[in-house]
Amino acid sequence: MSCLASAGIEKRFTHISSRHPCFSGEANMNRGRIHLPVSPGCNIQCRFCKRVFDKAGKEARPGVSAGLLKPREALALVKRARELCPEITVAGIAGPGDTLATGHALETFEIIHREYPDLINCLSTNGLLLERYAEDILRVGVKTLTVTVNAVEPTILDKICSQVVLDGKKYEGPEGAEILIEAQKRGIQRAAALGILVKVNIVLVPSINEGHIGEIARAVAERGAGIINIIPLIPQHEFAGFPEPDCFELSRAREAAEAYLPVFRHCQHCRADAAGIPGREDFSSRLYGHRELEQTFSHG
């Protein structure tokens, strides 16, 4: 293992990571988060991404929510969530679309940060517009950031991501993949330079990027990322016939990433409307179940 990886998350971020259940194994056991599903659209299309609303709460996977929340509704829900679960230290936005494809996430964080400056605001994005909005992200109190990077080689990413929509124009094939990769690299570097703790998620897709994990980790480490999380593929959409990675494939991927960065191993694959301490009681149905949430979503 390299010196970089063995050092773990930098000491200057310890006070944040120790309170964030998605950045620390210890915090994962006793700290909570509320995910606010305010982002209504996405600007890329991944071949494994099936965007549907699950009002019944039967699906437990990233990107899924019962519906959409309006930014102005978020404050009351954060207040109620902290009453139900005082251990909540993080307000996160992770979908159901991309958080930077619209202004909803930044508006929501601005509202929350004024009332709850003690909360860690956490944003997840595909990184396409991260460089463009990095200063705005910092301004609204975002301290931790997750960027999903599934390849740093366009011919590999093209097999995972079918299209990218940037400034109203659609890009496909290796061209679209290269646009996304370069945007992610620049965005991670800019966010890290601003003092934001960056985690990189990698969706492990057998036979496509399983031999590419180390290269991804090296590239994002060079640009300032602090930690990596390997997410096993959930076969669906165009990848419905793919096998899920087995424990040996997942272990090899983690080992490859750990040569460059520490690896988070406690991910619960949370929904975009999760609330509570990961792995314990989820309070989302008590927060969202009685509400008539908007049911619209769009790609691009």
Of residues 37 and 270, the one with the higher pLDDT is: 37
Domain-wise residue ranges, the chain: 3-295
pTM equals 0.85
List, in sequence order, every residue forming a beta bridge with 53; answer none if it has no partner: 65
Q: What is the pLDDT of residue 296?
A: 40
Helix or strand holding residue 249 (H, E): helix 247-258
Task: Count CA within 13 A, CB hemisphere, residue 26.
Answer: 6
* CATH topology assigned to domain 3-295: TIM Barrel (3.20.20)
Convert the pLDDT of each residue in 188-214 to its tens digit: 999 999 999 999 999 999 999 999 999
For the CA atoms of 1, 264, 161, 59, what is the dihedral angle to 10 degrees? 150
Judged on CB neighbours under 10 Å (0-12, 13-18, 19+), 6 is: exposed
Of 117-126, 142-151, 235-244, 276-285, which gets the smallest average pLDDT?
A: 276-285
Does residue 81 carry a pLDDT above 50? yes
Of residues 90 and 205, the one with the higher pLDDT is: 205
Does residue 24 carry a pLDDT above 50? yes
In the numeric block, the tokens 């519906």 are attached to 67
Convert the pLDDT of each residue in 157-189 to its tens digit: 999 999 999 999 999 999 999 999 999 999 999
Does residue 56 carry a pLDDT above 50? no
Q: What is the pLDDT of residue 53?
A: 47
* Contact indicator for 221, 261 with CB cutoff of 8 Å: yes
Q: For residue 6, what are its two tokens?
A: 């063995």
SS3 265: coil
Residues contacting residue 156 through CB under 8 Å, at least 6 positions apart:
177, 208, 209, 212
